[in-house]
Copies of this chain bind each other. A is one copy, B any other.
């Protein structure tokens, strides 16, 4: 068995910025030489998430809008979120969105390629309220 570790470092704009990680994940897999295994993609931090989507401008806008609607910046019903009140913070909505979408996805590697669809990319969503430097760990087990 082998474990290969890759680290993607990237700068985001925050505020729901969605970044296509697919090329970076594939580069780690290729560098590992693994042909069959599983790659786990995990973002460090509690205000960002990892999922898959068709990465095109319309879908990107829709996903940002949907999360803003489902978990608004301002607490529905009035008042502020408890995280903000207790900690003098302003990014409670970012924490909530991140927990709902989740920080990791695992993708099988079969015969040297990720089993993603043609219109399916692995993406990072940075929900924080300001630009952030992010670390995404890409772990290949085989």
Contact = CB atoms under 8 A, between A and B. Distances in A.
B56 A87 contact: yes
Nearest to A34: B3
A78 interface: no
Contacts of A98: 52-53
A2 interface: yes
Nearest to A89: B58
- Decide if the interface of chain A is mainly helix, strand, loop or mixed: mixed
A47 B38 CA distance: 22
Interface residues of A, number: 65
Given A38-B139, A44-B117, A86 B105 contact: no
Given A51-B102, A54-B46, A96 B62 contact: yes
A24 interface: no
19 contacts: A3-B37, A3-B38, A5-B36, A38-B38, A40-B106, A42-B107, A51-B99, A51-B100, A51-B103, A56-B83, A56-B87, A57-B82, A61-B83, A62-B82, A63-B99, A100-B101, A101-B102, A106-B106, A108-B138
